[in-house]
């Protein structure tokens, strides 16, 4: 085996702390049974953050409209369950497919232009879909949301309960599968080429690689994962509203990545946990001003630095 092959295979091996982290995540619905709904939200946001990190941290594509894929996945799964078939897994596949299709259709607009252009285009796509969902209220329910979404039992045996125990395990399972697949992907030759494009796109193009083809592929995959996250939200809550297209969805997932860090998959998971737990704790103390305190935490994180914040003994070093 060549040294290049060994270098590509080395990061794929699971570390002990990663295995321990997933064991703790799977144990969370048992240990914190009263907070199963929060665990479900964390898993959904973590999956959403993974999808954004794939294009931002690995491919260098900036997006402020990632909620577009999240929203079409949510509405796709909800409409499928209401009018066609209530099976959760089939609905999840539909939501993922709809999100991936939208990503494929909009990818030509992302492959060209500057970072500012991409910011405006991605935000514009989300705003257009928001207005379309609001206009066609006979299909989407408009401002009232799509109600009456009843999901069938998971795998034909596990009914979704009000305590969200089944929902939390379901979302964690989807998150785990997506994490494993993305872990293989980012450590493959495709993942290495994406990181090379992030650092110097012109040089990769000069080597004869198809930059546009790789950007289209990674953008489609990321859009499909975001659609899966939206489908999970609609399925586990039994509701889909215009809120899934709102700007705060894109902002929240960006903040989660700011906390956890980009360019490594655990950043999305850790950032989602930190963001949701902080949100829950702070809003429990001050419902009206929780955004101020959360923003203050983010300002401190940016000013001090993620590494120095968790290593106080380095604060006095230059």
Q: What is the CATH number of the domain that holds 35?
A: 1.10.3470
The per-residue pLDDT of the chain, averaged, comes to 82
Average pLDDT over residues 3-29: 76
Q: What confidence score (pLDDT) does residue 314 get?
A: 46
Query: Do 138 and 260 fall into the same domain?
Result: yes
Per the CB < 8 A criterion, the answer to whether 229 and 44 are in contact is yes
Q: What confidence score (pLDDT) does residue 138 get?
A: 82
Helix and strand tally (H, E) in the chain?
15, 0
Sole residue written with tokens 């796509």: 125
Residue 99, burial from CB neighbour count under 10 angstroms (0-12, 13-18, 19+): buried
Q: What confidence score (pLDDT) does residue 222 get?
A: 92
Query: How far apart (Å, rounded) are the C-alpha atoms in residues 114 and 242?
Result: 29
Query: Do 191 and 128 fall into the same domain?
Result: yes
Instruction: Annotate 203-229 with three-state secondary structure.
Output: HHHHCCCCHHHHHHHHHHHHHHHHHHH
Query: Do 34 and 145 fall into the same domain?
Result: yes
CA-based end-to-end distance of the chain: 43
Kindly report the number of other CB atoms within 10 A of residue 209's CB atom: 14
Q: What confidence score (pLDDT) does residue 231 get?
A: 92
Q: What confidence score (pLDDT) does residue 45 get?
A: 93
DSSP state of 32: T
Count structural domains, the chain. 2
- Kindly list the distances between the CA atom of residue 285 and the CA atoms of 146, 150, 252, in Å, as whole numbers in the listed order: 32, 34, 20
Confidence of residue 312 (pLDDT cuts 50, 70, 90): very low
Query: Do 19 and 159 fall into the same domain?
Result: yes
Q: What confidence score (pLDDT) does residue 96 get?
A: 94
∠ CA 258-114-247, rounded to 5°: 45
Query: Do 68 and 119 fall into the same domain?
Result: yes
Q: What are phi and psi of 240, to 5 degrees?
A: -140, 130
* Of residues 208 and 247, more confidently modeled: 247
Q: What confidence score (pLDDT) does residue 11 get?
A: 59
Q: Is the pLDDT of residue 4 over 60?
A: no
Query: How far apart (Å, rounded) are the C-alpha atoms in residues 226 and 144?
Result: 23
Query: Do 216 and 291 fall into the same domain?
Result: no
Query: Do 258 and 312 fall into the same domain?
Result: no
Query: Do 272 and 295 fall into the same domain?
Result: no
Sole residue written with tokens 């900036």: 62
Q: Is the pLDDT of residue 208 over 80?
A: no
Q: What confidence score (pLDDT) does residue 310 get?
A: 53
Query: Do 296 and 174 fall into the same domain?
Result: no
Q: Is the pLDDT of residue 318 over 50?
A: no
Look at residue 61 and give its three-state secondary structure: coil
% residues pLDDT > 90 (the chain):
20
**46-67 pLDDT, tens digit each:** 999 999 998 888 888 888 888 8
Query: Which residues form the domain of 318?
Result: 286-318
Q: What confidence score (pLDDT) does residue 237 get?
A: 87
Query: Do 206 and 292 fall into the same domain?
Result: no
Per the CB < 8 A criterion, the answer to whether 149 and 240 are in contact is yes
Query: Do 224 and 313 fall into the same domain?
Result: no
* Of residues 226 and 58, more confidently modeled: 226
Q: What confidence score (pLDDT) does residue 145 get?
A: 78
What's the Rg (C-alpha) of the chain?
A: 20
Average pLDDT over residues 118-140: 85
Confidence of residue 277 (pLDDT cuts 50, 70, 90): confident
Query: How far apart (Å, rounded) are the C-alpha atoms in residues 282 and 140?
Result: 33
Look at residue 171 and give its three-state secondary structure: helix
Query: Do 270 and 318 fall into the same domain?
Result: no
Q: Give the H or E element holding residue 281.
A: helix 265-285
């Amino acid at each position: 085996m060549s040294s290049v092959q060994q270098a590509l295979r080395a990061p794929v091996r699971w570390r002990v702390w990663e295995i321990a982290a997933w064991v703790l995540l799977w144990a969370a619905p048992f240990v914190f049974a009263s907070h199963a709904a929060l665990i479900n939200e964390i898993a959904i946001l973590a999956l959403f953050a993974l999808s954004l990190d794939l294009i931002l941290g690995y491919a260098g594509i900036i997006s402020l409209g990632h909620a577009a894929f999240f929203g079409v996945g949510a509405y796709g799964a909800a409409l499928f369950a209401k009018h066609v078939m209530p099976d959760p897994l089939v609905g999840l596949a539909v939501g993922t497919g709809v999100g991936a299709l939208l990503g494929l259709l909009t990818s030509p607009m992302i492959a060209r232009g500057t970072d500012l252009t991409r910011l405006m285009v991605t935000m514009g796509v989300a705003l257009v879909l928001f207005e379309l969902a609001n206009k066609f209220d006979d299909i989407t329910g408009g401002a009232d949301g799509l109600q009456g979404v009843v999901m069938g039992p998971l795998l034909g045996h596990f009914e979704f309960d009000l305590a969200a125990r089944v929902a939390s395990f379901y979302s964690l399972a989807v998150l785990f599968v997506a994490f494993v697949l993305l872990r293989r992907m980012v450590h493959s030759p495709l993942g290495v080429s994406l990181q090379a494009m992030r650092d110097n796109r012109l040089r990769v193009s000069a080597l004869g690689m198809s930059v546009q083809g790789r950007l289209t592929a990674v953008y489609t995959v990321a859009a499909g994962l975001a659609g899966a996250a939206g489908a999970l939200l609609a399925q586990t809550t039994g509701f889909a509203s215009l809120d899934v297209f709102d700007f705060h969805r894109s902002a929240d997932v960006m903040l989660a990545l700011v906390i956890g860090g980009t360019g490594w998959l655990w950043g999305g998971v850790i950032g989602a946990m930190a963001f949701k737990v902080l949100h829950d704790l702070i809003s429990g103390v001050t419902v009206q001003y929780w955004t101020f305190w959360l923003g203050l935490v983010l300002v401190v994180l940016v000013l001090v630095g993620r590494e120095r914040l968790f290593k106080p003994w380095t604060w006095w070093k230059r």
